[in-house]
Structure formats: C-alpha cells, structure tokens
Chains A and B, each alone.
Chain A
C-alpha cells in the first residue's frame, strides 16, 4: 500500500493493515484519514498526531467540518466509513478502547436519481455515433447501450460466443468484499 514519507507512524501501520483490501478502497481510506489528521492538526492540541487524539469529539468535529465545506452526503458517508475502519483497526491493535466513530450517525444519502434518456437524446446520440465516432468508440457506445459499460465481453461477443470478462474493474483476491454495488 502506498504511503507517504510524511505519514505518521499510526497511518503507516494502518496502511499496512489494509494490505488485503482492494487498492482503490485502501487508497480512498488513506486519503480520508490523512485529511482527518490534517484537520486535527489545525485544532488546539491537535499535533503531533497520535491515536489518543482520535476521540468522539474529534470525529464528530471532522464530520461537522465536512458539512461546513459543503461536502456531499455521499462523500461524508464514505469519510465516515474510512474513519470507522481506521478506528476499528486502532481498537483491534489495542490503541483505543472503543471505536469513537461507531456511534456516529451516517449522513443520509439520497437515492440515485433515476436516469432514463429521452427519445430525442437517444436519437441524437445514435446519430452522432454514426456521423462522428471511430469504430472503437462506436463499439464502446454499442456495448454501453447493452448495459455493458462496466462488464465487457471478450472478442467472441461480436461473433456470438459469450465468454464473460470484466475489464474495467479488477477483482482482487483479498478484496474487502461487501457487495459489488459500487458501480451503481
């Protein structure tokens, strides 16, 4: 897992503990925790960083800070997930007695607005593909119209044989699997 030389030792240990996760998930967790540590450093007595500073007040303060800088509910929800994971790691390692992020209420994430193209939009897109697109882009567009934006089939798709293969997202053996609903 990629850490920075400026990362504090707890952060580096946390990064090492995330070794089994999807690299993108781990990177997202680390980005959030770094941001949290940076925010903490701007608070009275917030530096140098040590795990004793990770209190419920600090976590709540950071989450409130995200509201004040207009972070979207989904972003705040992801930040809380990262902090919960970080705190849980600290608990498991014996650095904290309880997880201060556990009781924090998750921001309400509004359901994704349903997206359906209008007939006019479909017409314009299809016409433009015929007029302007390269064969590569035309194929990508055609695959996406079949709902295959994230799951493409191999070259046999064009000739009829089906051999499913995910190409835009890798599967890692030790991935932190919950549900594969992140492509929604």
Chain B
C-alpha cells in the first residue's frame, strides 16, 4: 500500500496531476517550493505544513469518524508504527535504526525508541491478569 501510494504520487498517470515540484530534491515539497528556493530556503514540506494538511484531512470525516480521530496528532502515526513493529517482533535496535533514532556517534538511541514503545496501561493490565497465583 505504501509503495503504491508513493509511486502514484511521484509518477502520476497524467503529468498534470503531478503534485510534487519536479525541481526539488525532496520527496514532499512545499506548495511554495519555487519561492522558497528563490529565497535560498529548503523547499520541502515543513512540519507545520504537514500538521495543516493533517487537520484539513481530519475535517473531511463524518461526525462519527471525527470523534475517533480528532485527538490524533500526525506524529502519533510514527508512534503507532513503532508499536506495531514491536508487536511484530522487531527488536528495539531495529526500530531505532529504521526510525532514524541515532546519537551523534551513529549509535542507535534506544532510550528514544523506548519512549515510542512504552506499554500502555491497557497492555500492562492485560499482563497483570496473566500473572498466576
């Protein structure tokens, strides 16, 4: 799914559907990419831009959908990925490397990754219930 979505974005069927600025070296470009380049600034989509798109996107849901997703910040998707990877058997080191958690020396920053994969209260409750005796 992810690869398909990226491919469709980078190589749309019709050239006029290309939403990316082809002059840019970045994957996700700002809508003001050309202007930013003129100013000598990086022309990638900014974190604020992503948050804006995310808020716009969430508003398109029905009331029922909105109630489920209203409180989800975009960055939670990254946390969710780390949880799913952990549940799929990835080690903390693997998640750290994949998620780009590194110290300046290039060593995996496990402490950071741990913050992404802390067990929830619900998970701990389930564990406690499994205790014998």
Contacts and interface: CB of A to CB of B under 8 A. Distances in A.
Given A132-B57, A145-B81, A140 B50 contact: yes
Contacts of A148: 78
A136 B75 CA distance: 17
B7 A159 contact: yes
B78 A150 contact: yes
A8 interface: no
Interface of A: 111-118, 120-122, 124-125, 128-129, 131-155, 157-160, 165-168, 170, 177-181, 183-184
Contact of A167 (B10, B26, B61, B79): B26
Interface string B1-22: 1111111111110000101100
Contact of B28 (A114, A117, A120, A139): A139
A116 B120 contact: yes
A124 B101 CA distance: 29
B97 to A, nearest CB: 11
Interface residues of B, number: 62
Contacts of B101: 180-181, 184
Contacts of B95: 147
B109 A179 contact: yes
Given A136-B20, A155-B10, 10 more contacts: A114-B83, A114-B120, A116-B83, A135-B12, A139-B5, A143-B2, A143-B28, A154-B26, A179-B109, A184-B112
A158 B6 contact: yes
Contact of B9 (A120, A135, A160, A167): A135
B69 interface: yes
A147 B83 contact: no
B68 interface: yes
A111 B79 CA distance: 14
A151 B100 contact: yes
